[in-house]
Structure formats: C-alpha cells, structure tokens
Amino acid sequence: MIKKILHITPDFNYSCGRSKLVFLYLKYFGNRDEYETHFITNGGDSLERLKEIPSLKFKKLTFSTGIKNIFFYNRFYKTLKDYVIENKINLIHTHHRFPEFVSNRIAKEFNLKTITSAHSFVNGFKQISFKSDKIISVSNSVTSYLLKNFNIKTDKLITLYNPIEEFSELKPDEKEKIKREICIKPNQKVLLFMGKINYKKGYDKLIQAYKIVYNKDKDVILIMCGKVEDKSFTKLRTKLTVPIIIIPPLKGNNILYQIAQIVILPSRFDGFPFVMIEAGANKKPFIGGNTGGISEFIEDGLDGLLVNPENENELADKILFLLNNKEAAEQLGNNLYKKVNKKCNCNNYFGRLEEIYNSLIE
C-alpha cells in the first residue's frame, strides 16, 4: 500500500526553521517508494529547492499566517478538500494552526488522520488549536508550554528534537574564497547571526553587544544572514557606527558557519532553533539566549554559553571570552557537535516519525 502524506506549511523560506524541517520531511519521504509525498504552501523564497525532489507533488494555495486567514478560509477549505479527495490522501501533516484547523474539519468528513507540529510558543485561538490526532513538539519546553496553555491530552503529544543532516567540510582555500567574496579580510574574526532578523531573535541586543566588542577588538566583524522582519532594523542600520555585513537568505548560506569563529543567537523566545544545532554540526562555539529550547539543550559552559537576552554587556563579555580563549571555544564546539550527533540524528528522527505515521494510517 502506497501511503499518501500531505504536508502543509506557510512561507517556505530559507531563513525559517519550520521550512528547514519541512524540507527534510519532503526529501526523506520523497525518496521512499512506500510513500507518495504531497506539499502545499502559499509561497516563499526557497521554492526552487523543491526541484531536488522530482517525485514531490506540489501545489500552491493562497493563505496567510495571521488574522487575514478569515478572508481565505472558504476558498482554502474548498480547494484543500478537493485536493484531498482527488489525490486520495491518507494523512495530513500541518505545520501551522490555520491549515491544521481546516485539515481537521476535512479529516472529520472523510475519516482521515491528522498530525500537526508545534515549532514555537504560540498563543490565542485555544478552542481550535492543536486538535490533531498527534502533536509533535520540537522541545520539552514547547511541550510543557502547550500542556499548560492549551487543552491537550498528554498521550497526543510527542517530543522530537529537530534533526540535522551532516555538513561537508570545506577546504581552506574554499573558505578563503568565500571570505573574499563577501569582503572579509584574512585577519578578521567572524561573529555569525543566522535566521530571521526580528525582536524574538534578539538582534538588537546583539548589535549593542557587538559595538562593545568592536571597540575593544577592531579585527572582529559581524555577519547577519537572514530575512529582515523588523521595520526598526532599517532605521537602526542607518545609524550604525560599526561595520556589519548583511546577507539575504539564499540557498547555500549554510557555508557561512564554516568561516565563523562564533555563532550567536540571543533569542528572547525560541522553541528549538536550527541555528543552534547547525552550529554544533559545524563544531562552532554557540552563544544563545537563556530561554526555551536553547537553555534546555545547551549546558552552559560545557557545550555552549547562555546569556540573559536582555543584557548586552553579558553577551559582549562572553563573545570576548571566546575570542580570547581559542581552546575553550574549540572545546565547546566539539562538545556541541557530539551532542547534536547523538540527539538530532536524522535516521533516528525519521525512524520514529515513520512509527507515528504508521500507527495512524494502519
């Protein structure tokens, strides 16, 4: 029996952890003969990578991520319902609460099973959220949050840390070429911020901390790679008195990890960021906000450093500590690499996911 799985997520973008996870899903199941993989999204800047999955059945529908969905509901419901019927879908796996709500309505009509993934800390819409047959949470902190704030039965919730693929190490001359292409001098030490540039990720405090660091070490440079979502960032950028390299989210930007000395993500809120485990996969020391899935996964001083996301002075001190203590930085990176390999293994993750799928379909 061919199992037909439909994934639905909004905003399929490069600088988005949810999109990274969904892409891993599509690749894994798209290469399995016993599955037929379907995907619906409203768009995004990384649709080109779907070409890597020739067997994937893809459809683009109009919907959003906020209250605007009330204008899209009727058309989305009808189109999704027709798609499910036409393609004889067995299971719908959603990655946002709006498609989850619509999918659950359709599932009741046709006796289908549904799964939704909880990627972050969300609020509101408690009466209609997380009603799927199974809910996959990306961390224990998100699981605890859902149990506390939503009416969910514990036997429906499953916690799975995000998985990650192995990275190929670049040769030294390849790294130097990348540096030249983005105007980094040979002696400059790279601080790397990856992901959405918004308030939740703490970019503002990082810039303040970087100013402190730069005043003490002019050989340091901050790279911020991601989609700008905070309008105030543009104003802040025009007033900068320190050099910062801004890179838009593009395919292949993960190579930036390999030219970085430190990866920094001082998040105020975060379920379980891919940036954290990508730093580990590249054996890079990681500094993260002492919050959510970051503080759950990182053991401060052993495999990373944690900071108060509102304290730029503490962040600056820890950046300077790692810049001035290469052995300690290397040890943190190596320890994080070992933890990521153990707890975020792709084969283990998808083996467990298949068990969940099969328990619902069969």
User: What SS3 string covers the chain?
Assistant: CCEEEEEECCCCCCCCHHHHHHHHHHHHHHCCCCEEEEEEECCCCCHHHHHHCCCCEEEECCCCCCHHHHHCHHHHHHHHHHHHHHHCCCEEEECCHHHHHHHHHHHHHHCCEEEEEECCCCCCCCCCCCCCCEEEECCHHHHHHHHHHCCCCHHHEEECCCCECCCCCCCHHHHHHHHHHCCCCCCCEEEEEECCECHHHCHHHHHHHHHHHHHHCCCEEEEEECCECCCHHHHHHHCCCCCEEEECCCCCHHHHHHHCCEEEECCCCCCCCHHHHHHHHCCCCEEEECCHHHHHHCCECCCEEEECCCCHHHHHHHHHHHHHCHHHHHHHHHHHHHHHHHHCEHHHHHHHHHHHHHHHHC
Is the confidence at residue 129, as pLDDT, over 90? yes
The whole-number pLDDT of residue 104 equals: 97
**So what's the pLDDT on residue 108?**
95
Please give the pLDDT value at position 230. Answer: 86
Residue 223 clears pLDDT 90, i.e. is over it:
yes
Taking 90 as the threshold, does the pLDDT of residue 342 lie above it?
yes
Range in 25-39, 58-72, 187-201 with the lowest mean pLDDT: 58-72
Looking at the domain 3-163+345-361, which fold is it? Rossmann fold (3.40.50)
- The pLDDT > 70 percentage for the chain reads 100
Confidence category of residue 156, pLDDT binned at 50, 70, 90:
very high
Position 88 scores a pLDDT of 97
Is residue 279 pLDDT above 90, yes or no?
Answer: yes
What does the pLDDT read at residue 155? 94
Domain with CATH 3.40.50.2000 in the chain: 3-163+345-361, 172-343
pLDDT at 293: 98
pLDDT score, position 231: 82
Q: Taking the complete model, does pTM exceed 0.85, yes or no? A: yes
Q: Write out pLDDT tens, residues 232-251.
A: 887 777 778 899 999 998 88
Distance, CA of 72 to CA of 50 (rounded, Å): 25
What is the band of 68 on the pLDDT scale with cuts at 50, 70, 90? confident
What pLDDT, on a 0 to 100 scale, did the predictor assign at position 131?
Answer: 96
Mean pLDDT of 205-223: 97
Which pLDDT band, with edges at 50, 70 and 90, does 281 fall under?
very high
Q: What is the pLDDT of residue 149?
A: 95
Q: Which CATH number is associated with domain 172-343? A: 3.40.50.2000
Taking a C-beta distance cutoff of 8 angstroms, is the pair 35, 2 a contact?
yes
* Residue 193 in this model has a pLDDT that exceeds 90: yes
Q: What is the share, in percent, of the chain residues with pLDDT greater than 90? A: 87
CB of 276 within 8 A of CB of 169?
no
Looking at the predicted structure, is the pLDDT value of residue 329 above 90?
yes
- Please, what is the average pLDDT of the chain? 95
Res 277: pLDDT: 98
Residue 116 pairs with which residues in a beta bridge? 94, 135
Nearest CA among 138, 339, 177, 325 for reference residue 259: 177
Instruction: Tell me which of 129-133, 144-148, 248-252, 349-353 is least confident.
Output: 248-252
Q: Which pLDDT score, from 0 to 100, does residue 349 have?
A: 98
Q: If you average pLDDT over residues 52-78, what whole number do you get?
A: 91
With a cut of 80, say whether residue 183 has pLDDT above it. yes
Most trustworthy range by pLDDT among 135-139, 166-170, 223-227: 135-139
Per residue in 297-327, pLDDT tens?
Answer: 999 999 999 999 999 999 999 999 999 999 9
Instruction: Indicate whether 85 pLDDT > 80.
Output: yes
Instruction: For residue 182, name the pLDDT band (cuts at 50, 70, 90).
Output: very high
Give the model's pLDDT for residue 1.
85
What are phi and psi for residue 315, nearest 5 degrees? -65, -45
Question: Would you state the structure tokens that stand for residue 360, as one six-digit string?
Answer: 């619902």
Give Cα 99 distance to the centre of its chain: 19
pLDDT band at residue 357 under the 50/70/90 scheme: very high
As given in the structure block, the two tokens for residue 220 are 């340091």
